[in-house]
Amino acid sequence: QRIEQLRDNQPDVAEKHLRDLYKAHPEKDVLVIELAGLVQELGQYDEARELCVDYLRRHPDEPRVIVLLADLTMQTEGFEGARRLIHRAIQLAQPAHHQGIAMLLASIADEVFRAGNPASAYAHLRRSIRFAPPELESSLMMLLSSWTTRITDYFPLLGSFELLPVELADEHRDAEQRARRLSDLGCWEPSAILYTRLLKDNPDNGPLWFNLGLFYLWDDRTAQAAAALHKAADLIEDFDTAVEAETLAVLLDLETSDDRINTAASSIPVQHPRELSSRLQSNDRFQLSSANSELLSTEMSQDYFRILANVPRADDGGQEELGSVVITANVEGDPLQHMVTVTADEDRLHEAWALVRETAGDCIDSDAETGEPEITGSVPTDFADFNWNVDFDPSLPAVKLRAAVNDRLATSVDAWLQRPQARLNDLSPLQAAEDPQLKVRTAAAVIVLYSIAQRLNHEIQPDELRTRLGLPAPTGRTLDAERTVEGVPLLHYLQLSLSELTDSQLLQLANRVGLIRDVGLLEQVVDELFNRPDALAEYTPRRAHMMRALVARFRNRVDEMAQSFDAAREAAQADADHFQSRLELCLLYTSPSPRDQS
């Protein structure tokens, strides 16, 4: 108690007392934990770790000290250096240690998510929630929910995956079951070690390779995961499962490839943001996103401009964009300053800046240097045809605007279908689809295209593409009545037999399907809702009609959109807040934004 009182105000005295106590009682785990924690707070990480290591030489299975050492190692070496310690701590942990385990797993989730492995992050966070006490669980659940808003960025890698059932000889079953139990805890390195041994005797077992790929994926070993999943795709007999394995493998290959088109951004401070905005507005190459400038240099505010490329406007009214400019007034800091940020494809960022500087004149200091460009996004080079940013004439009617976008997308799809791909033995998808040995890879290529299109806000219909390629339609999937849709891998959403779902599962799907922005799937879900009176009542007819209107708007079915809005307004009469609901509907219907349509 005295040491606790001294730690804040006299840490050197507290440290001396702790050292004396630990010297007198070197077998007390609480003392090494307190002393290591204190020297860590004083910045002496190496000594803190050595104290833990020294204690563990005498007591190798003390969970609390292993948890502390794992945490110290995470802070200095990251997950890669702490992996084995963490897995050891998880296996030894008792309920009293679960909060520490939960915090470790959450730290790993944050690290690997930032590093670009959403599947590993998702898996670690789910395990963290299992270990967390109630007061921590709610915070972790909020973090998991916030990630669902990023589903489109990472589809289908951000979601749940399932281990396949494996058929093995009796002498191998115990090891396989142990690997599954370790996986359930989040100990994927020992799971992978056990599976690697099993594969020596079962090298042609496709499900073993598939599960090994998931263990590697969850353990943040992306290259090994891709290799194992490619192998699984070659060995698994079920077509849909083989396609799923190949899809995941290709997506992982793409995530780790350097063959990408990067979007980059850089910034410099400016003295007169409103004058800069005015000068950009005077140049036809810059299009202000709002009707008027919104800059107020006395408080935090921004103007956003699209930079048009120096090429003629196309016949459909579209103008290619070079990049964008954001002017931010009154950036927080000491002293306060204003900033201008330019974003463009990495190899055209210099061109975009040159145009901004030329137009800005003395609003930008000619000697001011932009900061090091930051990569803000990227697209695999194979999908360059879909990486277009087009500014359409705002006076273009919404129907014509949507038709123009659809025509451009159709042109991109046609080009993709005819272009040779290395993953298809240098054949185009149209050619590869005719080779029985390449059907799995071709079907996977369709889903990969769908996934990349999701990230770029393009609507691709995978079923239509498979039909054009003569590939079999995926087999419908059913769910056990007690299973939740939240636990279903996102890839499987495209295969769910909606008529076989319970009302509860259909409602769960209706609440989640908007996250992946699949208009075709949304349309199917809404149609199914209208076939289920009880489910429709719970979802509310107003919401269902709104979803139907949204689908009609994307499909350019103007009459149907109007009818759905009218039906939604009528349904709003029954709402407790029907005045507000009807007002919102009137505003939505009477003021459709062409910009939103694009």
| Cα(545)–Cα(574) distance, integer angstroms | 14
Which helix (H) or strand (E) segment holds residue 204: the answer is none
* Higher pLDDT pick, 449 / 68: 449
In this predicted structure, the answer to whether residue 211 has a pLDDT above a threshold of 90 is yes
Residue 577 has pLDDT above 70, yes or no: no
Closest CA to 505 of 524, 483, 526, 537: 483
Q: Give the model's confidence band at 251: pLDDT under 50 very low, under 70 low, under 90 confident, else very high.
A: very high
pLDDT value, residue 351:
96
Lowest mean pLDDT among 18-22, 344-348, 515-519, 580-584: 580-584
* Confidence tier at 346 by pLDDT (50, 70, 90): very high
Question: What pTM did the predictor assign?
Answer: 0.85
Give pLDDT tens digits for 160-191: 888 999 999 999 999 999 999 999 999 999 99
Q: Using CA atoms in the order 121, 124, 130, 132, what is the torsion angle rounded to 10 degrees?
A: -80
Q: Give residue 59's pLDDT.
A: 86
Cα separation of 48 and 29, whole Å? 14
Neighbours of 197 (CB within 10 A): 13
Residue 485 phi, psi dihedral angles, 5° rounding: -70, -30
Lowest-pLDDT range of 231-235, 260-264, 395-399, 580-584: 580-584
- Considering only 287-301, 371-385, 532-546, which range has the smallest mean pLDDT? 287-301
Which phi and psi (to 5°) does residue 115 adopt?
A: -80, -5
Span 80-115, pLDDT tens digits: 999 999 999 999 888 888 999 999 999 999 999 988
Q: What pLDDT score does 48 carry?
A: 83
pLDDT at residue 335 in the model: 61
pLDDT tens for 212-228 read 999 999 999 999 999 99
d(CA 492, CA 479): 11
What is the pLDDT, as a whole number, of residue 596? 41
Long-range contacts, 141-144 (Cβ 8 Å, 24+): 143/106
Is there a cis peptide before residue 11, judged by omega within 30 degrees of 0? Answer: no
pLDDT band, residue 334 (cuts 50/70/90): low
Q: What is the reported pLDDT for 333? A: 59
What mean pLDDT is predicted for residues 548-557? 86
Check if the beta carbon of residue 376 is closer than 8 Å to that of residue 326: no
- The Cα-based distances of 42 to 22, 38, 45, 48, 572 in angstroms read 18, 6, 8, 10, 61
**What's the average model confidence in pLDDT over 415-429?**
95
Q: Is the pLDDT of residue 441 over 60?
A: yes
Average predicted confidence (pLDDT) for the chain: 88
**Could you give the count of Cα atoms lying within 13 Å of 25 in the half-sphere of its Cβ?**
11
Contacts of 576 (CB under 8 A, 6+ apart): none
Lowest mean pLDDT among 142-146, 161-165, 236-240, 466-470: 142-146
Q: Which of 86-100, 167-181, 389-403, 536-550 has the lowest mean pLDDT?
A: 389-403
Q: What pLDDT was estimated at residue 562?
A: 86
Nearest to 490 by CA among 466, 471, 514, 464: 514
Q: Token match 């806000």: residue?
A: 457
d(CA 146, CA 161): 19
pLDDT at 551 over 70: yes
**Confidence label for 583 from pLDDT (cuts 50, 70 and 90):** low
Of 162-166, 293-297, 412-416, 506-510, give the lowest mean pLDDT range.
293-297
Q: What is the pLDDT of residue 595?
A: 37
Least confident span in 124-138, 315-329, 556-570 = 556-570
Tens of pLDDT along 283-322? 999 999 888 888 876 678 899 999 999 998 888 888 899 9
Q: What is the average pLDDT across 488-498?
A: 88
120 and 218 in contact (C-beta within 8 Å)?
yes
pLDDT over 90 (residue 63): no
Name the maximum alpha-carbon separation found in the chain. 86
- Residue 75: both structure tokens together: 């802070």
Rounded to an integer, the average pLDDT of 515-521 is 82
Tokens matching residue 567? 């039906």
DSSP code per residue over 526-565: HHHHHT-HHHHHHH-HHHHHHHHHHHHHHTT-HHHHHHHH
